Amino acid sequence: KAGVTQTPRYLIKTRGQQVTLSCSPISGHRSVSWYQQTPGQGLQFLFEYFSETQRNKGNFPGRFSGRQFSNSRSEMNVSTLELGDSALYLCASSLIPNPGPLGDTQYFGPGTRLTVL
Amino acid sequence: QKEVEQDPGPLSVPEGAIVSLNCTYSNSAFQYFMWYRQYSRKGPELLMYTYSSGNKEDGRFTAQVDKSSKYISLFIRDSQPSDSATYLCAMLDDKIIFGKGTRLHILP
């Protein structure tokens, strides 16, 4: 079965621009989470969607937004890009939200490497 | 104080050695603990998960949780060069909180 796919894999933008990243979860998975990974801050939770509804949100400014479609595919958008937004953006999918306690597994995609110049 | 603290390394050990990776945490509400492995240019993959205090073994890997000390460990026995990766601890509250990861190098 195909894994989590993220597009594009690499992206270069300039300050002030906006960007949209895409994530296709594993077939049958309805929960999608987004994370930002940087050397300084590590892996930080952005938001989680389940059945097209945002269930949880991390401590990021409103410039970061997301959505989930009826086929469970998800997009995240960053507006007015800043240099500090340069990071690896990871998407993870699972059958249900907060999968740990029920023994389910969250599967990560390879990420989108965003560079802001 | 960060919710989850993890030494970033790098940690270099010879092949065959026992590796010990550790995390401390501050939130006593955490009940579910996980270890992820991340190879270069890849997303993290779940290695092991444990619930509450105790040990869990899976092949060469053992996860240990000490809730009284707010301390978790991952032990790798008979380490192999293919174990070279970044290891991230993670804990579940209403969302998953990750440590920053420890870079591990196994020297042939």
User: At B104, is the pLDDT very low, low, confident or very high (cuts 50, 70, 90)?
Assistant: very high
Tens of pLDDT, residue by residue over B1-15, are 678 999 888 999 999
pLDDT at A70: 96
Length of chain A: 117
pLDDT at B96: 84
Q: Is B46 at the interface with chain A, CB within 8 A? A: yes
Residues of A in contact with B34 (CB under 8 A): 100
Q: What burial class does residue A103 get, using C-beta atoms within 10 Å of its C-beta: 0-12 exposed, 13-18 middle, 19+ buried?
A: exposed
Q: Are A110 and A88 in contact (CB under 8 A)?
A: no
CA distance A56 to A22: 19
Tens of pLDDT, residue by residue over B42-59, are 999 989 888 878 899 999
How many CB pairs below 8 A link A and B?
A: 54
Residues of B in contact with A48 (CB under 8 A): 95
Phi, then psi, of A48 in degrees rounded to 5: -130, 135
**Shortest Cα distance, chain B CAs vs residue A9, angstroms:** 10
pLDDT at B83: 97
* Residue from B72, B98, B102, B103 to probe the interface with A (highest A Cβ count within 10 Å): B98
Q: Which of residues 6-45 of B touch A (CB under 8 A)?
A: 31-32, 34, 41-45
Q: What burial class does residue A10 get, using C-beta atoms within 10 Å of its C-beta: 0-12 exposed, 13-18 middle, 19+ buried?
A: exposed
Q: Which residues contact B69 (CB under 8 A, 6 or more apart)?
A: B24
Q: Is A51 left (phi over 0), alpha (psi -120 to 50) or beta?
A: left
CA distance B50 to B16: 25
Tens of pLDDT, residue by residue over B62-97, are 999 999 999 999 999 999 999 999 999 998 877 788
Q: Is A101 at the interface with chain B, CB within 8 A? A: yes
Q: Name the DSSP class of A9.
A: S
Q: What average pLDDT score do residues B23-42 get?
A: 91
Residue B43: which of A41, A90, A100 has the nearest Cβ? A90
Cα A20 to its chain centre, rounded Å, is 10
Q: Which residues contact A24 (CB under 8 A, 6 or more apart)?
A: A4, A5, A6, A73
CA distance B32 to B93: 8
Cα A82 to its chain centre, rounded Å, is 18
**Shortest Cα distance, chain A CAs vs residue B10, angstroms:** 13
Output the tens digit of pLDDT for each of chain A's 117 residues. 679 999 999 999 999 999 999 999 999 999 999 999 998 889 999 999 999 999 989 999 999 999 999 999 999 999 999 999 999 999 999 887 766 655 567 899 999 999 999
Residues of A in contact with B95 (CB under 8 A): 33, 45, 48, 56, 58, 98
